[in-house]
Amino acid sequence: MKILYHHRTRGEDAQGIHIRALCAAFRELGHQVVLVGPPRRRSAALFPPGGALPGTGVADARPSLAGLVIPHWFYELLALAYNTVAVPVLLAQALRHRPGLIYERYALFSLAGLCVARVVRRPFILEVNAPLSLELRQHGHLWLRGLAQRVEDFLCRSATRTVVVSQAMAEILKNRGIPAERLLVMPNGVDQDRFHAGVDGESVRSRLRLTGCRVVGFVGWVRRWHGVDGLMAALAPRLRRDPGLRLLVVGDGPALPDLRARARQLGVEDRVCFAGAVSQEEVPAYIAALDIAVQPAVTEYASPIKLFEYLALGCPVVAPDQANIRELIRPGVTAEVFPPGDWGVLGVRLEELLDDPQRCRQLGERGAASIPEHGYTWRANAERVLAAVEAGGSLPVTEGL
């Protein structure tokens, strides 16, 4: 089958990883994927800084276009206007390739996938990684609030299936009137060919002068709300008294300068290693270099890709104790948890693991086993999508906005 995959993402962060991985899984299953979207940024770095097209995720505090800072209201108007370009381009591709399925990664105000699916009468799968009308409003970055939610709800009601990455997100949409039968809960996944317990992190340890140290770490795009400052504060007492312990922060982001300053304030500057941006190919080895991996904070409806990568590599994980995380792990069995934002308890959890190597090994082994056990892979996700299309029938008839 031919799959027409539409997106509006340029970044190389988790969004880009997700798109490429799922498309690769469809192809691995024998399907042809035609990708339609803006050109990717020419950067091999993990999470490079810079602006994005409107509606591609949580907006940066200062949205930009071609390097110029623009106001949020203009950002949203551009997102609406993008449909005038996307619809004819996507329609032309649909008429040329005659796909059996149109798949769209949801972006703010994006109606192109649904419009074209209705014209060519093909099943339409909408993938929602975040309810952007809610997320952007919570961060104070949404001007057309009412319209944004109406469009979002209309899309979710109208799709053959709306894929959501957590049960927590499904509950949000159901409470807004989206029929439960239209929702497919499908957590994110991992590529086990690249992320597995056999990956060697010693070359990274040697390069960063971490050989012989125990390393607690975070890998990802570093924003303020990712909680890396809390992780640093939680680990600081142990860092100050344990000369063989290091905190490793891998990735770039707007919060990095503040983190460097915070390390100086806490007196642990010489025991915190900032690796900066690394290539996607290097990410498995950097995670493998960790003795303990931490997911300091996560939104209440997300399905963090990094968590799956940590688990797949057999790295002991500590994450916030919240509903969407409990969907993915068994507390005390495949990962340790702490109350969200309680950095004191996070510190206690890290102390306990650092003092109990056998416990760390058990967590790592059980966490790695949970990936194939629960089908947390991109291939399994592609199979779920195709099964939903086969069972879903034609597009539902819905009312207008």
pLDDT band at 43 (very low <50, low <70, confident <90, very high): very low
Domain that holds residue 369: 202-374
Average pLDDT of span 136-155:
89
Does the pLDDT value for residue 391 go beyond 90? Answer: no
Does the pLDDT value for residue 392 go beyond 90? Answer: no
Are 107 and 214 members of one domain? Answer: no
Q: What's the rounded Cα separation, in Å, for the pair 227 and 234? A: 11
Q: For residue 117, count other CB atoms closer than 10 A to its CB.
A: 28
Which pLDDT belongs to residue 360?
96
Is position 401 within any domain?
A: no
pLDDT band at 332 (very low <50, low <70, confident <90, very high): very high
- CA-CA-CA-CA torsion sign (95, 99, 101, 102): negative
Is position 397 within any domain?
A: no
Alpha carbons within 13 A on the beta-carbon side of 157: 15
Dmax (CA) of the chain: 66
CB 187 within 8 A of CB 166: yes
Number of structural domains the chain divides into: 2
Are 99 and 113 members of one domain? Answer: yes
Which pLDDT belongs to residue 136?
85
Are 37 and 85 members of one domain? Answer: yes
Does the pLDDT value for residue 269 go beyond 50? Answer: yes
Are 276 and 329 members of one domain? Answer: yes
Place of tokens 């086969």: 390
pLDDT band at 52 (very low <50, low <70, confident <90, very high): very low
Q: What's the rounded Cα separation, in Å, for the pair 41 and 215? A: 32
pLDDT band at 396 (very low <50, low <70, confident <90, very high): very low
Which pLDDT belongs to residue 98?
97
Is position 194 within any domain?
A: no
Which pLDDT belongs to residue 9?
85
Are 212 and 289 members of one domain? Answer: yes
Lowest-confidence segment of 59-73, 216-230, 269-283 by average pLDDT: 59-73
CB 190 within 8 A of CB 308: yes
Angle at 33 between CA 391 and CA 89, to 5 degrees: 105
Are 174 and 42 members of one domain? Answer: yes
Query: H/E element holding 336?
Result: strand 336-338
CATH assignment at residue 169: 3.40.50.2000
Are 122 and 213 members of one domain? Answer: no
Are 145 and 224 members of one domain? Answer: no
Is position 121 within any domain?
A: yes
Query: H/E element holding 105?
Result: strand 101-105
Are 239 and 282 members of one domain? Answer: yes
Q: What is the pTM of this model?
A: 0.89
Alpha carbons within 13 A on the beta-carbon side of 295: 30
Model pLDDT for residues 197-242, shown as the tens digit of each residue: 999 999 999 999 999 999 999 999 898 889 999 999 999 999 999 9
